[in-house]
Amino acid sequence: MGIPITGQIINMCAALLLLIAFAMLSQRRILSLINLFSLQGLILAISTSVVAYSSQQQHLYYSAALTLLLKAIVLPMILHRLIRKLNIKWDVETMFNIPTIMLVGLALVVFAFNLAAPISQMAATITRSTLGIAMASVLLSFLMMITRSKAVPQVVGFLAMENGLFFAATSATYGMPMVVELGIALDVLVGMFILGIFFFQIRTAFDSLDLKHMEKLKEE
């Protein structure tokens, strides 16, 4: 096998990201979900800095630092504060059958791997083979948002999807321009604040964070 050691580390990080995506999909407790999200950010930062080291792209170091700061530390802290204030720390979510969701997730992974195969052949980066995993984690986060009924896990799913997109960008083209990345980071942060306010609004309006209640808001 001719993969250099940095490539192996990146592949390992990619595999761990996929593992975390599945762990999130099967997680019932909100607290563990946020911890997993924090871990995802950490691994993303590690893999980005390894990519930066191996490709000598200076701006990727800044992306890695930004990822570490924002996704592994700040956002989980905000989420922790939120669930403490909303008092839903031990909330156990009832979802439909987890094994079924996992099997759907498996089908999504196969689909994403197939989809990414021709694209990654055209890319020339060291990380091109991880594109399939990046797409898979985007799709899995999407699936998580679909299958959850509570507000907080949906937001975590949304943030995880952003992580997957970021990973896809680094693996296909060594990351987006710095301006775009900063913009996205700011967007995510602001979005998080707005969603936090929304949580309180939803709870005062419906007495619950279950988004099924919002289906009642139809125009007659």
Partner 1 sequence: MSASAIFLQLLQNVLVLLAAPLLLGWINQCRAWLQNRNGAGMLQPYRNLLKLFHKDAVLAHNASQLFRTTPYILFACMWLAAALVPVLATDLPLSPAVDVIALVGIFALARVFISLAAMDIGTAFGSLGARREMLVGFLAEPALLMVLFTASTISQSTSLITIVETLAHKQFVLYPSMTFAAVAFVMVLLAENARVPVDNPSTHLELTMIHEAMVLEYSARHLALVEWASALKLLAYMAIGIALFIPYGIAEAGNWNALPAAIALLTFKLLLAGAGLAFIETISAKMRIFRVPEFMGTAFLLAVLGLLTHFLLET
Q: Closest distance between partner 1 and the C-beta of residue 102, in Å?
A: 5
C-alpha radius of gyration, the chain, whole number: 18
Q: Closest distance between partner 1 and the C-beta of residue 186, in Å?
A: 33
Nearest to partner 1 of 13, 192 (CB atom): 13
Alpha-carbon distances, residue 80 vs 5, 37, 50, 86 (angstroms)? 36, 11, 29, 10
d(CA 105, CA 111): 10
Nearest to partner 1 of 87, 94 (CB atom): 94
Tell me the three state secondary structure of residue 92: strand
Q: Contact positions toward partner 1, by CB under 8 A?
A: 1, 3, 5, 8-9, 11-12, 14-16, 18-19, 22, 26, 98-99, 102-103, 105-106, 109-110, 113, 129-130, 132-133
- DSSP lists the bridge partners of residue 29 as 92
Q: Closest distance between partner 1 and the C-beta of residue 67, in Å?
A: 20
Q: Closest distance between partner 1 and the C-beta of residue 109, in Å?
A: 6
Q: State which H helix or E strand residue 73 sits in.
A: none
Helices (H), 123-150: 131-147
- Backbone phi, then psi, for 210, in 5-degree steps? -80, 120
Q: Closest distance between partner 1 and the C-beta of residue 40, in Å?
A: 15
Nearest to partner 1 of 28, 212 (CB atom): 28
Q: Which two tokens stand for residue 94?
A: 């009832």
Nearest to partner 1 of 4, 183 (CB atom): 4
Nearest to partner 1 of 18, 202 (CB atom): 18
